[in-house]
């Protein structure tokens, strides 16, 4: 039985699923990253580094899938009545977020390569990713800084993005958030 058509004012089910899956992986990867860096060297710390890398590579793969999907399935049009500056800000924020969901895992992969610790996806030797650069202590130190700054930039942008969604839901009551929720939600006019 075919699924019902997606209303024109909602994102597709695939776009919604990719959005929330990537969001969960980013938040989880960020939390693990913060926690693991404060630990002393131990098997647990190494395990957390592996999980962090797996999360990042999964985000990267899903980001590519999401970009391909987005290229073939444009988002719904903006809801009427939104100020032009908000639409421009949302567009710029989305472009930055798309860039960061690719740049953050790539910087981590580069950092891992320069550090001499390969990314072995899910610990499966056959899924060891190639090193992107040769081992280089100075480059690793630089890439670590880049990876951290990109992560903090993404954390700030995700916070603004979430705050804007909450503002649209609670203050504007315009149905913007409902278009990306995994469950159906009817828009009520204010």
Does residue 5 carry a pLDDT above 70? Answer: no
* Cα–Cα dist 141/80, whole Å: 48
Average predicted confidence (pLDDT) for the chain: 90
Model-level pTM? 0.86
What whole-number percentage of the chain has pLDDT above 70?
92
Does residue 161 carry a pLDDT above 50? Answer: yes
Regarding predicted confidence, which is higher, 79 or 100?
100
What phi and psi, each to the nearest 5 degrees, are found at residue 185?
-140, 125
| One-letter-per-residue 3-state SS of the chain | CCCCCCCCCCCCHHHHHHHHHHHHHHHHHHHHHHHHHCCCCCHHHHHHHHHHHHHHHHHHHHHHHHHHHHHHCCCCCCCCCCCHHHHHHHHHHHHHHHHHHHHHHHHHHHHHHHHCCCCEHHHCHHHECCCCCCCCHHHHHHHHHHHHHHHHHHHHHHHHHHHHHHHHHHHHCCCCHHHHCCCCCCCCCC
What length is written for the chain?
A: 190
For 125-137, what is the mean pLDDT? 95
Regarding predicted confidence, which is higher, 177 or 116?
116
At 8, is the pLDDT very low, low, confident or very high (cuts 50, 70, 90)? Answer: low
For 15-31, what is the mean pLDDT? 96
Mind listing the domains of the chain with CATH numbers?
Answer: 13-76+86-180 (1.20.950.20)
For 111-139, what is the mean pLDDT? 95
Per residue in 146-159, pLDDT (tens digit) is 999 999 999 999 99
Among 158, 163, 117, 123, which Cα is nearest to 140's? 117
Regarding predicted confidence, which is higher, 108 or 80?
108
Say what the pLDDT of residue 185 is: 53
């Amino acid at each position: 039985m075919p699924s019902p058509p997606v209303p024109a004012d909602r994102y597709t089910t695939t776009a919604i699923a990719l959005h929330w899956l990537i969001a969960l992986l980013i938040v989880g990867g960020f939390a693990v990253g913060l926690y693991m860096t404060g630990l002393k060297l131990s098997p647990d710390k190494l395990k957390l580094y592996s999980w962090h890398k797996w999360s990042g590579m999964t985000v990267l793969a899903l980001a590519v899938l999401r970009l391909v999907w987005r290229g073939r399935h444009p988002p719904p049009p903006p809801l009427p009545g939104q100020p032009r500056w908000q639409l421009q800000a949302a567009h710029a924020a989305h472009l930055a977020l798309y860039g960061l969901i690719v740049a953050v895992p790539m910087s981590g992969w580069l950092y891992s390569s320069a550090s001499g610790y390969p990314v072995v996806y899910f610990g499966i030797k056959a899924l060891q990713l190639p090193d992107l650069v040769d081992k280089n202590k100075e480059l690793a130190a630089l890439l670590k800084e880049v990876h951290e700054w990109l992560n903090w930039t993404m954390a700030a942008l995700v916070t603004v993005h979430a705050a804007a969604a909450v503002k649209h839901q609670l203050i504007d009551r315009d149905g913007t958030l409902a278009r990306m929720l995994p469950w159906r939600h009817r828009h009520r006019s204010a």
